[in-house]
């Protein structure tokens, strides 16, 4: 799980690093005085501080840090000096922490220093980390905790210490495995014993339904673990999701002694998995003779049917384990017992054919001779439609059996159920001699008119139509040499329009490519679907030798930059798939590094998206233009920042800085690379961009990088922006007057909300619609944000938007009961309780209309008026009606039930009022508040990345709007 390689330390070349390894502080001091870069990086991006931390030299570490060494510098695996110090059990951990080392810094697998210390068993280091606030329950990308790490490597002292701290002993990782699973899998019996004694669940299942006992049964070193589990109540007959018990697991891996232990503790001998196989079937399938003997001795049923009704003997025979077959036969099993298809063991071995098929498939000439001599039909078909000649063509390397069958009138033109004849089989398996023998009987050009539909097993390619395709695809150049002599058209195509040369180039079969080119196969022919040539095929899969051969046999200027249906050149496809050799070959042959596809994207755009640093470096060496914009106005800088490829981004920035012109930083919608990096939370890219002067002032779309960061809860990016650009940006507004606080409130990202507030964000700032962050949160039901804003930030509850809605109105309008109650809790003023919007609706009107019972009750208890009327003359009670007609009827009924004088407070309805529905301009509408949005329209839907002043998010076709092979 964890693997540390320190071999780099002896290969670091910078003089400062060499001095560090010499352990000479004076030499280090001298080099620093000579302005040696204290943050110089080696090929793996490791700094001198990494080396010093590994070696544990306090004086040198102090020198480096005082001279400006970055204490949290990351190498290409994102390991910091603290990781290095912890992994080597250095006493420098305390020193680094005192100098600002980030105790929770994580590598590319999200492993923190405490993970490494736990894995390597450095208990004192762990105690130090915990004392400085390290999280003992932190998880890496696969949800491994420090306890998992310690359990996997058998570090018992660390396990005990972590358990004493109260960590969850049954915490599962991403696969559902607990520390007990991991310890059993690695055979750490001492840890297993401790975990069991501490209360670990011995029967907890993972995502596949396996318990620790399954792992112990299968593990190489799990014998003692298995005994501990069984002794402590582990269920021996528990089944995984595919029906396998621990006994099945011993059968798969041949754990003979463990199978005995499980059986002695009550395991069911003939338990079946989901395929119906018992442990005996499994042991027979994998050839574990000793285990078969144990199972039979313990009463296993040798005549029990498994998958497809097969017996253990069938499986042993199919897999070729003769000793297992003898063991099963010695138990008294009848060899002629058929399976559910009526096949005996011999039939099973022959895959459903006759004895003659079996003899042909195994190239048994003597048997073949005897059977044919006894009158066996040479053209009989088996269940797949194959004749003995098909099998001989597929398996007969010396051609002896095939020749005998042909002499006895075997028909090479008979096709199986998939449309293949003997020529197809011989071509697919590369038997040149068989092809020559068949050609002597019948001309191949006649036989090759037949077609097949399923010979290639690659799901990405449909079957070829000729043996020529089969031989080329499988790389049988000798068979291909025979076939090309009989076929005039070497450019025959399959259903997708691909030629044999295309398939050979795609698979990288250089000899086949050479044969086909020498015989005149067309190099620039395009397929029907993608319009790609064999050159594209070779470039896509990185077959540099095939690529050089293809380009060398055609006109460079027409071939090297030939485009497919989407305008993609071979260079683009090579970069897309990270094939550096092909990239250099194409560039050296004159390929245009700045060629554009139909979306205006170059090879450099592809390198930026995929993060293939070596390919990008090759393009930059050949002067690829960093500033070319695609159809959306995005350069490779935008794409690298958006995808988080910091290495590529650094190379692109360096190349851009060497250009005389100022780079265009904004795309068609005004978003800069900094916007994209912040939106997607790529902290390292944000840090790198902020080091560039051009990105240290806000440019482009008014929906700033800070807006982008907080709306996606990227707190780290937001904090860096504030640190570098100053706290003033927390109150910057977009085109609709919304501050980052509005965005954080809209998405309920409390950490970002608190960060902004701590930097004096204006809690009562209003946007162009008059809405405050609190209103935004209340309207969208973001209860956590509402609670922070009303409780901690003391947001003004009396403010109204342009339609005079308060936050309470907005919370009630969309049925967000909890948000409304949180606001109500802070309101004591009856005037605010009865505040009206432009439609004269009070919060009680709105809450009643949306059926918010608890809110209505709370409003009434705080003095909400039940007689307040809106612009349509309706009280809150009438607002509950589902439509205007029901409201009018309800008003009439109430007026009849409770007659009042003209001076009474209950409004009466005139006939004009009752029938005002006939006038569209006077229609009473309770479907929604006139001043509210009728739908739950999202914050982002008003401002997405595709529109001016919106949120940068990548739609499905944003980077991948070409085809599945482009981005």
In order of 473, 534, 542, 552, 661, the CA distances from 603 in angstroms are 28, 19, 15, 22, 21
Residue 96 lies in a domain: yes
Last residue of a domain, one of 135, 162, 194: 135
Burial of 944 (0-12, 13-18, 19+ CB in 10 A): middle
Q: 601, 637 in Cβ contact below 8 A?
A: no
Phi/psi class of residue 209: alpha, beta or left (left: φ > 0; alpha: ψ in -120 to 50)? left
Q: 888, 909 in Cβ contact below 8 A?
A: yes
Last residue of a domain, one of 76, 100, 135: 135
CA separation for the pair 261, 298 (Å, rounded): 12
Q: 3-class SS at 112?
A: strand
CB environment 121-134: b (16+ within 10 A), e (fewer): bbbebbebbbeeeb
* Residues in the chain, pLDDT under 50: 2-12, 341-355, 357-359, 450-463, 901-967
Domain count, the chain: 2
Residue 881 lies in a domain: yes
Last residue of a domain, one of 884, 905, 922: 922
HEC profile for 253-304? HCCHHHHHHHHHCCCCCCCCCCCCCCHHHHHHHHCCHHHHHHHHHCCCCCCC
Q: Among candidates 208, 183, 207, 210, which has minimal Cα distance to 197?
A: 183
Q: 3-class SS at 859?
A: helix
Q: 357, 346 in Cβ contact below 8 A?
A: no
Residue 183 lies in a domain: no
CB environment 66-92: b (16+ within 10 A), e (fewer): ebebebebbbeebbbbbbbbbbbebeb
Q: Which two tokens stand for residue 932?
A: 């509210």
CB atoms near residue 299 (< 10 Å): 9
Q: Which helix (H) or strand (E) element contains residue 355?
A: helix 355-361
Residue 399 lies in a domain: no
CA separation for the pair 613, 650 (Å, rounded): 10
Residue 389 lies in a domain: no
Residue 17 lies in a domain: yes
HEC profile for 440-460? HHCCHHHHCCCCCCCCCCCCC
pLDDT in tens, 903-921: 444 444 333 333 333 333 3
Q: What local confidence, expressed as pLDDT, does residue 690 receive?
A: 93
Provide the Cα torsion 875, 878, 883, 884; round to 10°: -60
Q: 3-class SS at 951?
A: strand
Q: What local confidence, expressed as pLDDT, does residue 959 receive?
A: 34
Domain coverage including residue 7? 1-135
Burial of 692 (0-12, 13-18, 19+ CB in 10 A): middle
pLDDT in tens, 810-854: 999 999 999 999 999 999 999 999 999 999 999 999 999 999 999
Q: 3-class SS at 106?
A: strand
CA separation for the pair 819, 838 (Å, rounded): 22
CATH of the domain at 97: 1.25.40.20
pTM: 0.59
Q: 789, 795 in Cβ contact below 8 A?
A: yes
CA separation for the pair 607, 594 (Å, rounded): 12
Q: 3-class SS at 875?
A: coil
CA separation for the pair 561, 539 (Å, rounded): 12
Residue 685 lies in a domain: no
Residue 809 lies in a domain: yes
DSSP string, 623-688: T--TT---TTS--HHHHHHHHT-HHHHHHHHHHHHTSSSPPP---TTS--HHHHHHHHT-HHHHHH
What is the phi/psi pair of residue 944, to 5°?
-90, 175
- Give the bridge partners for 951, in sequence order: 944
């Amino acid at each position: 799980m964890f693997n540390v390689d320190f071999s780099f330390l002896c290969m670091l070349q910078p003089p400062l690093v060499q001095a560090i390894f010499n352990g000479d502080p004076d030499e280090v001091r001298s080099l620093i005085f000579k302005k040696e870069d204290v943050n110089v990086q080696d090929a793996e991006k490791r700094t001198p501080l990494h080396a010093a931390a590994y070696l544990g030299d306090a004086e040198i570490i102090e020198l480096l840090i005082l001279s400006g060494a970055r204490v949290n510098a990351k190498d290409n695996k994102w390991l910091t000096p603290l990781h290095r110090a912890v992994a080597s059990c250095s006493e420098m951990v305390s020193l680094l922490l005192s100098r600002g080392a980030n105790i929770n810094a994580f590598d590319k697998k999200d492993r923190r220093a405490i993970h490494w210390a736990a894995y390597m068993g450095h208990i004192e280091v762990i105690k130090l980390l915990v004392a400085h606030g390290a999280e003992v329950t932190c998880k890496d990308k696969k949800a491994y905790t420090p306890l998992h790490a310690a359990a996997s490597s058998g570090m018992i002292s660390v396990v005990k210490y972590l358990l004493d701290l109260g960590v969850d002993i049954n915490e599962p990782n991403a696969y559902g495995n607990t520390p007990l699973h991991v310890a059993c899998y690695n055979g750490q019996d001492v840890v297993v014993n401790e975990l069991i004694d501490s209360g670990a669940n011995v029967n907890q299942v993972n995502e596949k339904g396996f318990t620790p006992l399954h792992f112990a049964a299968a593990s190489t070193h799990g014998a003692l673990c298995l005994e501990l589990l069984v002794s402590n109540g582990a269920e021996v007959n528990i089944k995984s999701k595919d029906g396998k018990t621990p006994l099945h697991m011993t059968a798969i891996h041949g754990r003979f002694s463990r199978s005995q232990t499980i059986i002695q503790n009550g395991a069911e001998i003939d338990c079946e998995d989901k395929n119906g196989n018992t442990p005996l079937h499994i042991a027979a399938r994998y050839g574990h003779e000793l285990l078969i003997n144990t199972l039979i001795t313990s009463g296993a049923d040798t005549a029990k049917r498994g998958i497809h009704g097969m017996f253990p003997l069938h499986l042993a025979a199919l897999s070729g384990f003769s000793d297992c077959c003898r063991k099963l036969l010695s138990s008294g099993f009848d060899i002629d017992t058929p399976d559910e298809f009526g096949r005996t063991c011999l039939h099973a071995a022959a895959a459903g054919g006759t004895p003659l098929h079996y003899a042909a498939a195994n190239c048994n000439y003597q048997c073949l001779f005897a059977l044919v001599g006894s009158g066996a039909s040479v053209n009989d078909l088996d269940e797949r439609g194959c004749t003995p000649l098909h099998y001989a063509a597929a398996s007969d390397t010396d051609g002896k059996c095939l020749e005998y069958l042909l002499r006895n009138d075997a028909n090479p033109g008979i096709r199986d159920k998939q449309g293949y004849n003997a020529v197809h089989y011989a071509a697919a398996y590369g038997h040149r001699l068989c092809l020559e023998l068949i050609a002597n009987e019948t001309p191949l050009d006649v036989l090759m008119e037949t077609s097949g539909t399923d010979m290639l097993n690659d799901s990405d390619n449909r079957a070829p139509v000729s043996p020529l395709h089969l031989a080329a695809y499988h790389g049988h150049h000798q068979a291909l040499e025979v076939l090309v002599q009989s076929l005039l058209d070497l450019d025959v195509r399959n259903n997708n329009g691909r030629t044999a040369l295309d398939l050979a180039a795609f698979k990288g079969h250089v000899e086949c490519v050479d044969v086909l080119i020498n015989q005149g196969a067309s190099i620039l022919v395009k397929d029907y679907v993608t319009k790609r040539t064999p050159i594209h095929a070779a470039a896509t899969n990185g077959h540099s030798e095939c690529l050089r051969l293809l380009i060398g046999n055609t006109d460079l200027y027409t071939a090297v930059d030939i485009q497919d249906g989407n305008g993609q050149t071979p260079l683009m496809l090579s970069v897309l798939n990270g094939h550096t050799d092909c990239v250099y070959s194409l560039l050296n042959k004159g390929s245009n590094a700045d060629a554009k596809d139909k979306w205006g994207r170059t090879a450099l755009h592809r390198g930026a998206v995929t993060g293939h640093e070596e390919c990008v470096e090759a393009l930059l060496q050949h002067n690829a233009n960093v500033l070319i914009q695609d159809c959306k106005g995005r350069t490779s800088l935008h794409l690298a920042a958006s995808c988080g490829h910091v290495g590529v981004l650094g190379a692109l920035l360096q190349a851009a800085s060497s250009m005389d012109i100022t780079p265009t930083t904004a795309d068609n919608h005004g978003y800069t690379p900094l916007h994209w990096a912040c939106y997607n939370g790529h902290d390292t890219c944000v840090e790198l961009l902020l080091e560039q002067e051009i990105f240290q002032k806000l440019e482009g779309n008014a929906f700033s990088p800070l807006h982008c960061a907080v709306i996606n809860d990227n707190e780290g990016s937001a904090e860096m922006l504030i640190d570098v650009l100053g706290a003033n940006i927390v109150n910057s507004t977009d085109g609709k007057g919304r501050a980052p606080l509005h965005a954080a409130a809209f998405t309920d990202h409390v950490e970002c909300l608190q960060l902004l507030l701590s930097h004096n964000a204006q809690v009562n700032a209003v946007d162009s619609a008059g809405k405050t962050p609190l209103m935004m949160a209340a309207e969208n039901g973001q209860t956590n944000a509402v609670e922070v804003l009303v409780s901690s930030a003391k947001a003004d509850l009396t403010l109204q938007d342009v339609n005079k809605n308060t936050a309470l109105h907005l919370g009630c309008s969309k049925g967000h009961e909890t948000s409304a109650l949180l606001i109500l809790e802070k309101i004591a003023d009856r005037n605010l309780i009865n505040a009206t919007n432009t439609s004269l609706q009070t919060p009680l009107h709105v809450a009643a209309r949306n059926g918010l019972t608890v809110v209505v009750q709370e409003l009434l208890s705080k003095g909400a008026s039940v007689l307040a009327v809106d612009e349509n003359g309706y009280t809150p009670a009438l607002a509950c009606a589902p439509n205007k007609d029901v409201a009018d009827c309800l008003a009439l009924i109430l007026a009849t039930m409770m007659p009042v004088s003209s001076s009474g407070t209950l409004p009466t309805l005139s006939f004009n009022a009752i029938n005002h529905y006939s006038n569209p301009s006077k229609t009473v509408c309770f479907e929604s508040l006139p001043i509210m949005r009728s739908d739950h329209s999202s914050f982002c839907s008003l401002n997405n990345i595709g529109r001016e002043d919106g949120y940068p998010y990548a739609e499905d076709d944003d980077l991948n709007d070409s085809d599945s092979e482009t981005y």
